[in-house]
């Protein structure tokens, strides 16, 4: 078997024998010559074949040439091929300045002739046929960028002596509240799908791990159909010991994102410009910080009264404060800090001297919340009281509360939605575009 060469590596080779494999993107079947654009996971190349339409006398190879010509004429879009032939560099070829003259062609897997989706198909239709949708080089690039982001996160964490953990997704009780929980039958009892790794990454603090991270699935039984919600998503989590306040968590968060954006710019800058018309901007540090009360005042002064009665910022308010930050600071990120304890989980530490506020933040990126972070409450008596205030029964949280009964350092961390970061970085309109296989209230397939 000839050794396969990825399309992206052809340009570095000298003219001569080569073998390529991929799927058919287009076929131009002309009378005297045939052209096939073959695409693989790395790029596209033009294949050329001098057409032989009938047997030629005194040419013992004409039967093979005729068979190749007929095979190309019958090719359907999407069929997978292996082609051996001769590579030739030619500046006149618009696609990459090179082409492969077909010597032999093997149809490895035929495609049905009618493709069920087109470039102008609706997003829902494309998601129905996601494996075909992902053949688009723009879609391919999304997940290459995702890979680079996750690698940069991990490199930062490893360079800074973090430990990677993998927490269970089956829970005996609620991890944050009883809302938005998926119940699943678990032998003769009920389990819940984890909304976050919150309890277990906190468990690593009294365990003496110091600094931990996880990239893993999380589940929210939220019947929302917005462009930024999903019932299953990938959560990026970190937790660190020996902090003084949520400011230490924000500093970590900044450094992590700067590392990721720098890696994306260096590795994919040209491709993102080509496919997304996007110039990656690496955010400067420190990110702007605005207490929530001040952010709401700024938004109100700019003509928008937040209608919510729960002390939170609504999506329109997030867009308005992001616009203000862009105008005033030229920055795409802003930390909204000091959220009211009434809208934060029981385990968020409250301000010393003002129990109405928490040492917490939301990180807004281009007008959309991508993360929540906080200093955690590590005093068990305070945790019990705050859990009761939230309507939780401490008896159901005994396994969690035990973490704090045998010594625990001050700690904090954050959880961040990976698909949201990708969506905003790439300027996409929905996390459905930046999730490999999306799950929502009405989608469990494919």
From the number of C-beta atoms within 10 Å of its C-beta (0-12, 13-18, 19+), residue 343 rates as: middle
Q: Which two structure tokens, joined as six digits, stand for 236?
A: 């990026």
Binding residues for L-aspartate: 176, 220, 372, 376
Instruction: Answer left, alpha or beta for residue 151, where phi above 0 means left and psi between -120 and 50 means alpha.
Output: alpha
Taking the C-alpha atoms of residue 415 and residue 174, their distance in angstroms, rounded to an integer, is 17
**201 within 8 A of 165, measured Cβ to Cβ:** yes
Per-residue confidence (pLDDT) for residue 53, from 0 to 100:
85
- Look at residues 371, 296, 289 and name the one whose alpha carbon lies nearest to residue 337: 289
Q: Which of 110, 77, 96 is nearest to 12 (CA)?
A: 96
For residue 413, what are the β-bridge partners?
239, 374
Question: Residues annotated as binding site for ATP?
Answer: 369, 417-420
Cβ proximity of 408 and 383 under 8 Å: no
How many CA atoms lie less than 13 Å away from 242 in the CB half-sphere?
4
pLDDT in tens, the chain (446 residues): 459 999 999 999 999 999 999 999 999 999 999 999 999 999 999 999 999 888 877 777 888 899 999 999 999 999 999 999 999 999 999 999 999 999 999 999 999 999 999 989 999 999 999 999 999 999 999 999 999 999 999 999 999 999 999 999 999 876 666 678 999 999 999 999 999 999 999 999 999 999 999 999 999 999 989 999 999 999 999 999 999 999 999 999 999 999 999 999 999 999 999 999 999 999 999 999 999 999 999 999 999 988 876 778 999 999 999 999 999 999 999 999 999 999 999 999 999 989 999 999 999 999 999 999 999 999 999 999 999 999 989 998 999 999 999 999 999 999 999 999 999 999 999 999 999 999 999 999 99
Nearest-angstrom CA–CA distance, 403 and 238: 18
Structure-block tokens of residue 263:
């890696």
Burial annotation 302-311 (CB, 10 A radius, 16+ → b, else e): eebebeeeeb
Residue 321 CA to residue 334 CA, distance in Å, equals 8
Question: What domains can be seen in the chain, in order of their start residue?
Answer: 7-109 (2.40.50.140), 128-426 (3.30.930.10)
DSSP symbols for 176-207? S-STTPPEEEETTEEEEE-S-SHHHHHHTTTT
Question: Could you tell me which residues are annotated as the binding site?
Answer: 176, 220, 369, 372, 376, 417-420
- Evaluate whether 277 touches 440 at the Cβ level (below 8 Å): no
- Residue found under tokens 């807004």: 364
pLDDT of residue 311: 78
pLDDT value for 148: 98
What is the distance between the alpha carbons of residues 103 and 83, in angstroms, rounded to a whole number?
A: 7
Three-state SS annotation for 2-70: CCCCCHHHHHHCCCEEEEEEEEEEEEEECCCEEEEEEEECCEEEEEEEECCCCCCCCCCCHHHHHHHHH
């Amino acid at each position: 078997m000839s050794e396969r060469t990825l399309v992206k590596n052809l340009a570095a080779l000298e003219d001569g024998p080569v073998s390529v494999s991929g799927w058919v993107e287009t076929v131009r079947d002309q009378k005297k010559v045939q052209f096939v654009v073959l695409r693989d996971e790395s790029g596209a190349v033009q294949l050329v074949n001098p057409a032989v339409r009938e047997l030629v006398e005194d040419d013992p190879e004409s039967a093979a040439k005729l068979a190749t010509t007929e095979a190309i004429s019958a090719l359907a879009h999407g069929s997978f091929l292996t082609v051996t032939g001769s590579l030739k560099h030619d500046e006149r070829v618009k696609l990459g300045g090179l082409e492969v003259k077909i010597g032999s062609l093997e149809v490895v897997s035929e495609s049905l002739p009618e493709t069920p989706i087109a470039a102008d198909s609706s997003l829902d239709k494309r998601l129905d046929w996601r494996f075909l949708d992902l053949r688009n080089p723009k879609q391919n690039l999304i997940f290459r960028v995702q890979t680079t982001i996750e690698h940069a996160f991990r490199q930062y964490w490893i360079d800074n002596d973090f430990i990677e953990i993998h927490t269970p997704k089956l829970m005996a009780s609620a991890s944050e509240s009883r809302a938005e929980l998926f119940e699943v039958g678990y032998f003769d009892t009920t389990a819940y799908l984890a909304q976050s790794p919150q309890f277990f990454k906190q468990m690593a603090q009294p365990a003496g791990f110091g600094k931990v991270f996880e990239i893993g699935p999380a589940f929210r039984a939220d019947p929302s159909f917005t462009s930024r919600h999903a019932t299953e998503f990938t959560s990026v989590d970190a937790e660190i010991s020996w902090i003084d306040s949520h400011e230490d968590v924000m500093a970590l968060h900044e450094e992590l994102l700067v590392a990721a954006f720098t890696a994306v710019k260096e590795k994919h800058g040209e491709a993102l410009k080509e496919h997304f018309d996007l110039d990656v901007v690496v955010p400067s540090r420190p990110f702007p910080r605005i207490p929530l009360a001040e952010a709401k005042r700024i938004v109100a002064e700019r003509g928008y009264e937040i209608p919510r009665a729960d002390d939170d910022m609504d999506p329109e308010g997030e867009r308005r404060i992001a616009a203000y930050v862009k105008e005033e600071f030229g920055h795409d990120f802003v930390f909204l800090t000091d959220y009211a304890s009434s809208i934060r989980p029981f385990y968020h530490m409250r301000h010393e001297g003002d129990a109405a506020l928490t040492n917490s933040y939301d990180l807004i990126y281009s007008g959309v919340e991508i993360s929540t972070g906080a200093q955690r409450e590590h005093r068990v008596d305070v945790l019990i009281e705050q859990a009761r205030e939230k309507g939780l029964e401490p008896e159901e949280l005994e396994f969690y509360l035990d973490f704090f009964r045998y010594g625990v350092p001050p700690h904090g961390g954050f959880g961040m939605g990976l698909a949201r970061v990708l969506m905003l970085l790439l300027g996409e309109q929905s996390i459905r575009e930046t999730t490999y296989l999306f799950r929502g209230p009405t989608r469990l397939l494919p």
